């Protein structure tokens, strides 16, 4: 009978703990990233074949993924698959969480609601190509969009962004002294910039499928030898002409032979993406300003006499980063010729050694990073890659890291949706291949009210039954004592 009392007490203790655990699950049914606890019971020691009660054998986290909920918050993230976000506070210890309800901290870093820094792989370098060597970030003066491109590779993430000051207002026509020597009007200079910006964006877009070193683009250069022009362009009615890209350029005699040739050259230079010059010997040189673009030149003549076209340099399209460099150099030259300043920033996040999990905090404000004087934009996350969008531009800021453990059930729960590693859990393993990171989405609690309420009723009945065992044993003891009296 005494043994029955202690059996009942052990049952009361076990089911009281089980009630506490299940009520905790219910209280966290709406906690982002919460993992419910499940309990197992075990019988205690036996004496002469008679059991001596029960106890709570284990409390184990259920790491089944919770439902994903669209929140619309641009900093919210959810891990779809295995793994944990890595976070760190003022101490050096790294903690692990499934809750992705992140935000921008007061210092501009990505943080949890409690102020822990979300760890990952930040920007490793920012390359600058600028007209003004003292300019290293975009300011309000750089108000002309030229191009932007995101490239995501296994080993790195790159964003290319180029802007210019207002070339439409700074462009001026060349002086008459430049006639025949690449003369450009203000409108032609603006048109050249726009054509080259289109080509630059095209070359950037070709990078996206697969980043490669590639080969440089080469601009076409063609010449026509009008060496006898001085004897043929002598009077009104004489003319010189040719076709360039199916457009006929014809110049009638004006003043003298050299002036006539100069004005023909100026007509060609006024065409978008072309420049032309003619020397005193009558050699007309036509150069494509767009590297890799083929220029068709045909039917050159003076009056009724035909001449030959000599292609000095053939157009080569190029590929990869080298082709982008060729397009950028040409674009920068055109911008500067229009009296404006060019600036290109290339952000790089190095992912070549992610397996080592050498992580750091991720800065979100562009002014803190020295990229733009305007620190804010619209955040976007692509499978953990964090971008900040400003208008047509997109800047990569880093990539959040995720980690997994050989024995996740041995992680130590700390509260606030945090876990710490233990000896039994092992060291963290980079989990990028085991999951994807969704943005504007939160993983919700995996606690189920139906299951928890059912368990509560079972535990309550078991608690009542153990109470009954104690009172029954007490009644038996009371009868035995009365018999002794």
Residue pLDDT, tens place only, 117-160: 999 999 999 999 999 999 999 999 999 999 999 999 888 999 99
User: pLDDT tens across 372-417, in order?
Assistant: 999 889 999 999 999 999 999 999 999 999 999 999 999 999 988 9
Residue 201 pLDDT more than 90?
yes
Q: What percent of the chain has pLDDT over 70?
A: 89
**DSSP states of 257-320 as a string?**
HHHHHHHHHHHHHTSTTEEEEE-TT-EEEEEESSTT----EEEEEETTEE--EEEEE--B---H
**What pLDDT band is residue 312 in, cutting at 50, 70 and 90?**
very high
β-bridge partners, 348? 125, 158
Average pLDDT for 64-87? 93
Query: What's the confidence (pLDDT) of residue 453?
Result: 77
User: pLDDT tens across 444-474, in order?
Assistant: 988 887 777 777 777 667 666 666 656 666 5
Strands 385-390, 393-400: pairing is antiparallel
Strands 68-70, 441-443: pairing is antiparallel
List the chain domain ranges.
2-66+444-484, 68-160+341-443, 166-336
Query: What's the confidence (pLDDT) of residue 28?
Result: 85
Residue 411: DSSP 8-state: S
Query: What's the confidence (pLDDT) of residue 4?
Result: 57
Average pLDDT for 275-282? 95
User: pLDDT tens across 411-438, in order?
Assistant: 999 988 999 999 999 999 999 899 999 9
Sign of the alpha-carbon torsion through 252, 255, 261, 264: negative
Q: What percent of the chain has pLDDT over 90?
A: 71
The 3-state DSSP class for residue 72 equals: coil
Indicate the pTM of the whole model.
0.84
Spatial separation of the C-alpha atoms in residues 247 and 195, rounded to whole Å: 17
């Amino acid at each position: 009978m005494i043994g029955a009392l202690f059996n009942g007490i052990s049952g009361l203790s076990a089911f009281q703990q089980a009630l506490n655990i299940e009520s905790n699950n219910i209280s966290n049914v709406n906690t982002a990233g919460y993992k419910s606890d499940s309990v197992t019971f075990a019988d205690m020691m036996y004496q002469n074949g008679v059991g001596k009660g029960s106890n709570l054998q284990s409390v184990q986290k259920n790491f089944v993924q919770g439902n994903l909920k669209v929140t619309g918050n641009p900093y919210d993230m959810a891990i779809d698959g295995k793994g944990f976000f890595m976070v760190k506070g003022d101490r050096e210890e790294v903690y692990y969480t499934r809750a992705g309800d992140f935000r921008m901290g007061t210092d501009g870093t990505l943080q949890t609601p409690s102020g822990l820094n979300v760890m990952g792989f930040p920007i490793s370098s920012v390359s600058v190509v600028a007209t003004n060597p003292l300019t290293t970030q975009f300011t309000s003066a750089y108000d002309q969009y030229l191009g932007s491109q995101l490239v995501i590779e296994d080993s790195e993430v790159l964003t290319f962004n180029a802007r210019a000051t207002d070339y439409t207002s700074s462009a001026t026509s060349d002086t008459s002294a430049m006639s025949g020597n690449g003369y450009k009007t203000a409108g032609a200079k603006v048109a050249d910039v726009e054509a080259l910006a289109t080509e630059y964006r095209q070359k950037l877009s070709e990078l996206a499928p697969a980043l490669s070193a590639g080969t440089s683009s080469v601009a076409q250069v063609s010449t026509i030898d009008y060496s006898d022009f001085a004897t043929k362009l002598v009077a009104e009615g004489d003319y010189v002409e040719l076709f360039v890209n199916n457009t006929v350029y014809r110049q009638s005699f004006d003043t003298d032979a050299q002036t006539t040739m100069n004005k023909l050259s100026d007509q060609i230079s006024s065409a978008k993406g072309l420049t032309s010059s003619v020397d005193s010997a009558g050699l007309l040189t036509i150069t494509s300003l767009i590297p890799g673009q083929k220029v068709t030149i045909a039917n050159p003549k003076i009056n009724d006499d035909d001449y030959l076209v000599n292609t000095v340099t053939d157009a080569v399209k190029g590929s990869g980063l080298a082709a982008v460099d060729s397009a950028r150099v040409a674009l920068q030259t055109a911008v500067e010729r229009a009296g404006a300043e060019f600036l290109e920033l290339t952000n790089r996040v190095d992912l070549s050694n992610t397996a080592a999990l050498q992580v750091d905090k991720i800065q979100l404000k562009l002014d803190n990073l020295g990229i733009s004087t305007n620190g804010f934009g619209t955040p976007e996350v692509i499978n953990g890659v964090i971008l900040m969008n400003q208008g047509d531009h997109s800047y990569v800021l880093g990539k959040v890291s995720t980690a997994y453990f050989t024995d996740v059930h041995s992680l130590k729960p700390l509260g606030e949706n945090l876990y710490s590693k233990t000896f039994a859990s092992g060291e963290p393993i980079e989990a990028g291949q085991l999951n994807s990171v969704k943005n504007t989405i939160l993983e919700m609690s995996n606690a189920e009210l139906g299951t928890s309420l059912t368990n509560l009723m079972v535990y309550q009945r078991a608690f009542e039954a153990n109470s009954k065992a104690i009172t029954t044993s007490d009644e038996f003891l009371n009868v035995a004592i009365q018999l002794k009296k």
